[in-house]
Amino acid sequence: MKKTKQLFAGLILMALGLGTAQADYTLNLMKGVTKVSNDIYDLHMLILWICVFIGIGVFGTMFYSIYHHRKSKGHKAAQFHENTTVEIMWTIVPTIILIGMAIPATKAMIELDDVQEAEMSIKVTGHQWKWEYEYLDNGIHFFSSLDEASNKARQVGSGIDPRSVPHYLLNVDKPLVIPTKKKIRFVFTSADVIHSWWVPDLGWKKDTNPGFINESWTSVNEPGTYRGQCTELCGKDHGFMPIVVIAMDEPDYDAWVEKQKAAVAAEAGSASKQWTTEELVAKGKSIYDTSCSSCHMADGAGLPGTFPAITASPVVTGDINAQVKLMSDGKGMMPAFGKMLSAVDFAAVVTYTRNGLGNAVGDSIQPSAIQALQSATSAADKNE
Amino acid sequence: MSAVVAEHDDHHDHGPAKGLLRWVITTNHKDIGTLYLLFALTMFFVGGAMAMVIRAELFEPGMQFVNPQFFNSMTTMHALVMVFGAVMPAFVGLANWMIPMMIGSPDMALPRMNNMSFWLLVAGVLLLASTLFMEGGAPAAGWTLYPPLVLQTGKALPFAIFSVHLLGISSIMGGINIIATIFNMRAPGMTLMKMPMFVWTWLITAFLLIAIMPVFAGAVTMLLTDKFFHTSFFDAAGGGDPVLYQHIFWFFGHPEVYVMILPTFGVASTIIPVFARKPLFGYSSMVYATAAIAFLSFIVWAHHMFTVGMPIAGELYFMYATMLIAIPTGVKVFNWTATMWKGSMTFETPMLFSIAFVVLFTMGGFTGLMMAIAPVDFQYHDTYFIVAHFHYTLVPASVFILMAAGYFWLPKWTGHMYDERIGRLHFWLSVVSVNILFFPQHFLGLAGMPRRIPDYAVQFADWNMISSIGGFIFGASQLLFLYVVIHTIRGGTGEKVTAEVWEDAAKHSLEWTLPSPPPYHSFTTPPAVIPTEHV
């Protein structure tokens, strides 16, 4: 336990007032990378120093009294027990200090709330337990989940040292990319329970409420990678749905947008090709590990009483179209994956569950068949 | 009323019933007070054990001991057990023991209801604890039970809701009893503005309880009908709104946290003057400040919801209203300091815990003021900064004062003196470890660690480990208190305590005019002289 020893050494050093230059932790709020986050930081420091100042005054008086006005030093107790002047003073002075705090706080609050005149909008949807991003101006749309290395290391008793995983629990498979120096409006909602989207460097968090829309905005000056997490308890894997925002200068951002559009076209092409069962099973395993295993467990055993097992499940070993329909529409806590997975990923994971995890049904389904089903469903939705 | 008193007069000096049945059927305020206090102490260790599970899992990054779902059950149950099983019952226990003795009455006004409210509490807490063994596990949506998440609870949901109903009925009956006692049973000459501060703070707290417990019961009943009877109070698909629950919950929840702190203020205002050998400074301003805090507690609830998406006017209103709380709270802290000023202080264990309370509660108050600033709360909200804040206002505040009350009144209750050496050891271990436990959590929150997560990024590792070490020391130290309680009940140091126990205590409050231990029916004739040292 080298780390533990270091810590104890650190504690002792701190107690001696020597300080330690130990790890890369921070003690204070971060300033962040936007004007709002800097204003909030300044406000935080202002209130903190006022509190420290008052604290020194009150505790100083108290400890002076504790030291000098003790019976063991022979101090005789005075018998005063009220003083109207003093009482009025220590009601009025704090009121004035509070008014002094309220003025900058009101200004910062109004600035934080102003989503007007945004240059682009991104819709953020919280899911148990991943984020969905939709660029309302150019149609780019994807999901963002915990990256695979963190996901493996965070399993109970994984034996993997979290310190060996880069950005453990703060890394995703597909980060959100935004341009710098543009006012970006975010709209938030949720597909299931309440989540909260927080990137400390942007200076705020916002809840995502199912059935309702919330708004917020940012404008990042410096390119960089900014990390955050879900901050509203949203169930079992609340601690495992991080947020990564990459801010890029305009030309880099434009290039990224083009790349995304090309990828969508390529995806459409691969959906129409004929896949072998082996190809689907191989691809399906990685989809299962990121999208399914947090509930149904990596080995398909589920959690008795809460999450059904995949192994020997009557649904998975039964009619393939019924399984596709259930996975597509969702049921109870099971999300509707029809809108979350691409046709290729959907077909792959269906095929994998039927031919892996202890099952051996032997059949498979083609991405093109999934596409046909999905377009039939969305047509039916429109008719409703 | 008079019939009951007359009946008691017939066999004036009878004692408690014999055997174990005494504790089941008792209607005596001291017996019921003892039951409440022992039950609360037991639950303090049960809730504490859950906290140890939480701190053990958070000792290092990575998942070592429990799965995330069980971790969430632990944080949820830890809070519910500590709030409804430990802190609230402990203060009701103190109220039962002390209010009749402080106002010069023989017992509580409604002794049979008193018995019933205790046993409903036991039933409620046991029902809640039983959910740990149900399919799908105990509730894991946090003690706030927010929908839609809480509706994903397994078999436990209706049991947890019924348990909340029982706890609510128990609290309301306790509140009614305390109000009825204070309004009807005061000795002649004990006017409202001569009552000890502990009685005042409990009177105000009892009104809070009666006002808020039905609101909470209503909120969880709506959860029940949403889950089982196809209503849509909190479901947008049926025209409801999940945020509505948060508004209702916090309309209950904010006064609820004051239910746990106002009696704390009362005990501190009782203990500090005795050991400063000086009257309480600003008695009437203390009463008015307590009432002001209670009033404000009803109009600030949405400061728990700054990031939920409120219009700017709502954000600003709740920010201003919340900041106002700093004024009466400040008055209280200044008054305690002024009470100590130019006193003749000694530092027995109750005084040590009380001074630590004033200092550490004030630190919790400072962070509370910081969080009241709405735009900055967009950073603080739902992080470990919040966890640090409310634990400072609950553990080294409410819990420390409960310890102080234990040391202060145990000699009165038992007639035996506790071991001062062990008391001081308990204090110093507690006060050092509680700061190792909670102070680093401020750093964690500011650095970006969300609350209610079972595992964390590695940059949070060092302070989490320090916090856990503090937690283990704090948890173990509390066993000393258990030892002190048992040791004192069984004879303590063997020193015979006087009626007053503490120097000149009888000048401050009536309980010190009774022998130690006091007679079974505290004041069978009204006291001749009402102490007015504090007024």
Average pLDDT along chain B, 535 residues, taken 10 residues at a time:
44 67 90 96 96 95 92 96 96 96 94 95 96 92 94 93 96 96 94 94 96 96 95 94 96 96 96 94 94 96 95 96 95 95 94 96 95 96 96 96 96 94 96 96 95 94 95 96 95 88 90 91 88 72
Report whether pLDDT(A367) > 90. Answer: no
Report whether pLDDT(A220) > 90. Answer: yes
Query: Given an 8 Å threshold on Cβ–Cβ distance, is A207 in contact with B345?
Result: no
Q: Is B239 left (phi over 0), alpha (psi -120 to 50) or beta?
A: left
Q: CB–CB of B404/B354 below 8 Å?
A: yes
Query: Given an 8 Å threshold on Cβ–Cβ distance, is B450 in contact with A198?
Result: yes
pLDDT at A16: 47
Cβ neighbours of A90 in B, within 8 Å: 330-331, 334
Block residue for tokens 């209607």: B27
Residues 489-528 of B with CB under 8 A from A: none
- What residue in A sits closest to B453 (Cα-Cα)? A239
Cβ neighbours of A66 in B, within 8 Å: 340, 345, 347, 355
**Lowest mean per-residue pLDDT among A82-96, A298-312, B308-322:** A298-312
pLDDT at A303: 78
Q: Rounded mean pLDDT of chain A?
A: 86
Per residue in A183-210, pLDDT (tens digit) is 999 999 999 999 999 999 999 999 999 9
Higher per-residue confidence, A326 vs B439: B439
Q: Is A26 on the interface with B (CB under 8 A)?
A: yes
Residues 102-131 of B with CB under 8 A from A: none
pLDDT at A362: 81
Cβ neighbours of B309 in A, within 8 Å: 188, 206-207, 209, 212, 214-215
ipTM of this complex prediction, to 2 decimal places: 0.89
**Lowest mean per-residue pLDDT among A76-80, A272-276, B72-76, B119-123:** A272-276
Query: Given an 8 Å threshold on Cβ–Cβ distance, is B149 in contact with A44?
Result: no
Report whether pLDDT(A18) > 70. Answer: no
Q: Is A90 on the interface with B (CB under 8 A)?
A: yes
pLDDT at B14: 61
SS3 content of chain A, % helix, strand, coil (to 5): 50, 15, 35
> How close are the terminal C-alpha atoms of chain B, in Å?
31
Cβ neighbours of B243 in A, within 8 Å: 209, 212
Could you give the percent of chain A with pLDDT greater than 90? 51
Query: Given an 8 Å threshold on Cβ–Cβ distance, is A233 in contact with B452?
Result: yes
What band does A382 get if pLDDT is binned at 50, 70 and 90?
low
Query: Given an 8 Å threshold on Cβ–Cβ distance, is A112 in contact with B237?
Result: no
Q: Is A336 on the interface with B (CB under 8 A)?
A: no
d(CA B135, CA B132): 9
Per residue in A119-128, pLDDT (tens digit) is 999 999 999 9
Out of A27, A169, A206, closest to residue B446 by CB = A27
Residues 101-130 of A with CB under 8 A from B: 101-102, 105-106, 108-113
Q: Is B454 on the interface with A (CB under 8 A)?
A: yes
pLDDT at A339: 76
Query: Given an 8 Å threshold on Cβ–Cβ distance, is A87 in contact with B285?
Result: yes
pLDDT at A235: 93
d(CA B464, CA B459): 10
**What residues of B act catalytically?**
78, 107, 143, 170-171, 254, 256, 258, 269, 303-304, 329, 332, 451
Nearest to B357 by CA among B265, B281, B436: B265
How buried is A140 (Cβ within 10 angstroms: 0-12 exposed, 13-18 middle, 19+ buried)?
middle
Out of A55, A154, A237, closest to residue B62 by CB = A154
Query: Given an 8 Å threshold on Cβ–Cβ distance, is A27 in contact with B443?
Result: yes
Alpha-carbon distance B376 to nearest alpha carbon in chain A (angstroms): 5
What band does A22 get if pLDDT is binned at 50, 70 and 90?
very low
What own/partner pairs with CB < 8 Å and gap ≥ 24 does B19-27 have?
B25/B115, B26/B115, B27/B107, B27/B111, B27/B112, B27/B114, B27/B115
Q: Is B452 on the interface with A (CB under 8 A)?
A: yes
d(CA B283, CA B529): 19
pLDDT at A195: 97
Q: CB–CB of A267/A345 below 8 Å?
A: no
Cβ neighbours of A57 in B, within 8 Å: none
As beta bridge partners, residue A184 has A120, A218
Query: Given an 8 Å threshold on Cβ–Cβ distance, is B379 in contact with A205?
Result: yes
* B162: amino acid identity, one letter: F
Alpha-carbon distance A263 to nearest alpha carbon in chain B (angstroms): 31
Report whether pLDDT(A23) > 70. Answer: no
Residues 31-60 of A with CB under 8 A from B: 37, 39-40, 43-44, 47-48, 51, 54-55, 58-59
Q: Tally A–B CB contacts below 8 A.
A: 316
Out of B347, B370, B451, closest to residue A48 by CB = B370
Q: CB–CB of B454/A236 below 8 Å?
A: no
d(CA B258, CA A38): 34
Query: Given an 8 Å threshold on Cβ–Cβ distance, is A29 in contact with B64?
Result: no
Query: Given an 8 Å threshold on Cβ–Cβ distance, is A211 in contact with B235?
Result: yes
Query: Given an 8 Å threshold on Cβ–Cβ distance, is B366 in contact with A54?
Result: yes
Q: Which of B358, B363, B379 to mutate to test the interface with A (most CBs of A within 10 A)?
A: B379
